Chains A and B, each alone.
Chain A
Amino acid sequence: MRAPLTIAGVELRRFLRDRSNIFFVFLFPLLLVLILGAQFGGDGTQGRVVVVGDASSLRTELVAALEDDGVTVTSAGADEATEQVARGRVDAALVVPASAAAAFDDGAEVTLEVVPAAQQGARLAVQQVRTAAAAVATGQGQVRALTQAGLDEAAAQDALAAASTEMAPPTLAVVDVDEVAQEFAGLGQFDLGAAGQTLLFVFLISAAGSATLIQSRRLGVMNRVLAAPVSTGQALAGQALGRFVIALFQGAYIMLTTALLFDVDWGNIALSLLVLAAFAAVAAGAAMVIGAVMDNDGAASGLGVGLGLVLAALGGCMVPLEVFPDTLQTIAHVTPHAWAYDAFALIQRHDGTLAEIAPQLGVLAAMALALLALGTWALRRSMARAL
């Protein structure tokens, strides 16, 4: 057993010595998790509205009403706002011209302009602007009705404030039976991204690392190892173990840092690590196969990166699996990513037990065994091949 462990240790040390790997292994995954979390985290359905116009009481009230509704409000000049709408960086622009602000202060009719963008959230943003405008108008109406009844404005405001502490307004209680929404309920901002990114990088780093196998074959390292009192089986086990340790190291690193930095909840940590280990074994097997079948290291890392990205996209690591159309969800399960994704989802969101994730673990283990067997066999044959 010592020989394989030594070989695996050497592989890991070589991997960590490569300075470009520092970026890919340590920094890039966190960058992705951060960006994904910032994009999709929290409540992403609320609109973004840019408000144009000088400061006025009307503008202030509209912004307050929009923000009450959970809308993200920014302000910009007219030209900049138009550009932001055209580019879809906001859902709508609300223009509050000086004439409207003056009319509002005088109690006359007010005309505002809303410019929707050409994208999904735009219609909702327009409705949210309407709701905000209605709220502003209603608030004004309340004060006016009281002043017309003989109160002065300050007294009217005070009376309204006092009444609002005693009167409970009618409220909406929303129950969501949407399966996708329920599935994501209770997930932290970065949780979804972190699980997907972990799988993406474990596989990607592993597959791209298959190039080192080809190099060691070309440089005759493998032959020299075999010249030492080490059997072919031990040498191959060492290579496989090396790949596995690298994949496991990468995954554990992402899990640890996302838990510490982004407060990602990995559920039952022992089970999560078990899923990671099964997936890392699959990734190691894939790397062995690529490294044994191909003879050009450049093309091998190209294929590894390409395969890593495509399988990750198909397996739900870039766009969540739950939002896939049904047929595609089925197709997605040809990838190990989808099975591991399901297992993580069970552990993270439903407190899944070992028994519940057993099917996923079983499939991953079967995939790993098949790939490792194929990789070992191919590597054994490739040693007889001249490079």
Chain B
Amino acid sequence: MTVSDLRQRLRDRSVLLYGLVVPLALMVVFDLTLGDQEVELEPLTVAVAAPEGDVLADAVVTVLGDLGDLDVTVEEVSADAASARVADGEAGLAVIVPAGFTDAVTAGEGPVVEVVEGDGTGLEGDVVLSVLDAVLDQLAAGALTAAAGAEAGLPAEVVASLGQAALASAPVLTLEEGEAANEQLSASGALVAGQAGLFLLFTVGFGVLGLVAERETGTMPRLRSMPMRPGLIVAAKALVSYLLGVGATAVLLTAGSVLFDVSFGSPVAVAALVLAAVAAATSLMFVIARVARTAEQANAVQSIFALVLGLTGGAFFPLSATGLAGQLLDVNPVAALTRGLGITSGGGGLADLGVPVLTMLGFAVVCVVLARLVPDRGEAR
């Protein structure tokens, strides 16, 4: 029975369409639109215009030239040329320090350092801005301390040294960088996983939801009259769903990893994830088969479930949520599949997959129980 059903489904072009063609097309389009998102910072050229011989302005320039994580090339130019270099795309960023900067800082006149951000300097530009913030903060601190000293009536010779003293007596806060495990897929990888999960929810419908169609066309009673246990009919439909789901997901993940150069890690671990994900998806179909009266309704309800779970599972864009919202998202089998693939791509094996696999199997169990409990609305009346 399973074999004949499978043959029928594979002849039906919509399985191929939903299971493979559409998700692959979407993956390609998404991957194109995303471009490549690098984690590392790109080198950046900064055009700096600073007044000659200005002590604090020189301090700003010195800091920019040595940023640790970010490879910055500082070009010292005139104020007019700085913006022009950004406009020409020669420099990613221009920093213009006004004339008389040191005096203005010391007197608390609030001098304005102009920054011009060019095309596509997003993240690197933000890093430089954050550094500049810290530098200006430090420069202001000295002047502010001296002013506070004068305010409190300290003698003039003490006030004069306060600025230096403030910087000298600041406590040393050292930051050490720790390492965390990487359980994340690249942007392309996350989309491949999410799309595979989303369309899995469509593909598995072709078996189980066949029950609704059989009821509608009246072939169900005929099947039941055959010399076998009625449970076998349901089992066969479930098996069809399961095989279709495993097949489609395996093809999608393989094709996705080849096309977009994503590595999902150990094939054994990935296989375990796929098996669990298909179980969760197939069991959800049983709930839908009970609730839906007609095949048309079943398809509509299925699409609703698939799109909501796909959307909240990160099939279209990664969702980041923490706290309660994050936990709610974690229950979603599409999200669990994506997370599991993240763990395997980071080198995790079967042993590390406890949470996502249990999540998906738990989802499956809950769905099977629900399918037993909800009243069957499709019985012939």
Contacts and interface: CB of A to CB of B under 8 A. Distances in A.
Contact of B154 (A111, A124, A149): A149
A309 B148 contact: no
A151 B130 CA distance: 33
A386 interface: no
B178 A114 contact: yes
Given A69-B130, A89-B322, A159 B33 contact: no
B22 interface: yes
Interface string B299-330: 11101100110011000111111110010000
Contact of B127 (A124, A169, A309): A124
Contacts of B126: 45, 124
A296 B15 CA distance: 13
Interface in A132-186: 133-142, 144-146, 148-151, 155-156, 158-160, 162-164, 166-181
A130 B117 contact: no
Interface in B329-356: 339, 342, 346
A127 B127 contact: yes
B90 interface: no
A178 B174 contact: no
A35 B311 contact: yes
Nearest to B169: A144
A313 B33 contact: yes
| Chain A interface main SS type | helix
Contacts of B120: 178, 180
Contacts of A126: 69, 175, 177
B112 interface: yes
B242 interface: no
Interface residues of B, number: 112
B144 A145 contact: no
B129 A87 contact: no
Contacts of A305: 22, 303
B245 to A, nearest CB: 17
Interface stretch (A115-123, A264-272, A359-367): A115-123
Interface centre among B112, B131, B137, B311 (most CB of A within 10 A): B137
B119 interface: yes
A252 interface: no
A219 interface: no
B113 interface: yes
B132 interface: yes
Nearest to A150: B154
Interface in A17-31: 18, 20-21, 23-24, 28, 31
B14 interface: yes
A87 B297 contact: no
B14 A141 contact: no
Contacts of B223: none
Contact of B18 (A90, A139, A302, A323): A302
Interface string A70-101: 00001010000010111111100101000000
A170 B26 contact: no
A240 interface: no
A80 to B, nearest CB: 9
Contact of B304 (A20, A76, A172): A20
Given A104-B171, A178-B117, A142 B145 contact: yes
Interface in B139-179: 139-141, 143-145, 147-152, 154, 158, 162, 165-179
Interface stretch (B34-42, B255-263, B271-279, B368-376): B34-42
A105 to B, nearest CB: 10
Interface centre among A18, A69, A111, A178 (most CB of B within 10 A): A178
Interface centre among B38, B151, B177, B307 (most CB of A within 10 A): B151
Given A160-B148, A172-B136, A89 B326 contact: yes
Nearest to A135: B137
Nearest to A20: B300
A208 B258 CA distance: 31
Given A115-B180, A173-B114, A174-B115, A107 B131 contact: no
Nearest to B141: A138
A313 B26 CA distance: 7
Given A86-B183, A133-B173, A309-B26, A172 B115 contact: yes
A298 interface: yes
B137 A138 contact: yes
Given A138-B141, A306-B17, A319-B33, A176 B180 contact: no
Contacts of B319: 35, 39
A168 B110 contact: yes
Contacts of A8: none
Interface string B227-271: 000000000000000000000000000000000000000000000
B379 interface: no
Nearest to B116: A175
A181 B120 CA distance: 9
Contact of A120 (B32, B37, B86, B110): B37
A324 interface: yes
A128 B41 CA distance: 15
Contacts of A67: none
Contacts of A306: 17-18, 21-22, 25
Contacts of B162: 145-146, 149
A21 B318 CA distance: 27
A137 B18 contact: no
A112 interface: yes
A171 B130 contact: no
A342 to B, nearest CB: 16
B133 interface: yes
Interface centre among A50, A107, A121, A138 (most CB of B within 10 A): A138
Given A131-B131, A156-B152, A319 B168 contact: no
Contact of A141 (B150, B168, B318): B168
Of all A-B residue pairs in the complex, the 3 with the closest CB atoms, nearest first, are A168-B110, A141-B170, A167-B108
Interface of B: 12-14, 17-18, 21-22, 25-26, 29-30, 32-35, 37-41, 69-70, 86-87, 101, 104-105, 108-123, 126-127, 129-134, 136-141, 143-145, 147-152, 154, 158, 162, 165-184, 296-297, 299-301, 303-304, 307-308, 311-312, 316-323, 326, 339, 342, 346
Interface of A: 18, 20-21, 23-24, 28, 31-32, 35-36, 39, 45, 48, 50, 69, 74, 76, 82, 84-90, 93, 95, 104, 107-124, 126-131, 133-142, 144-146, 148-151, 155-156, 158-160, 162-164, 166-181, 296, 298-299, 301-303, 305-306, 309-310, 313-314, 318-319, 323-325, 328
17 contacts: A32-B311, A35-B312, A86-B184, A93-B178, A111-B174, A117-B182, A123-B69, A138-B137, A149-B162, A151-B154, A167-B147, A168-B108, A170-B110, A302-B22, A314-B33, A318-B30, A318-B316
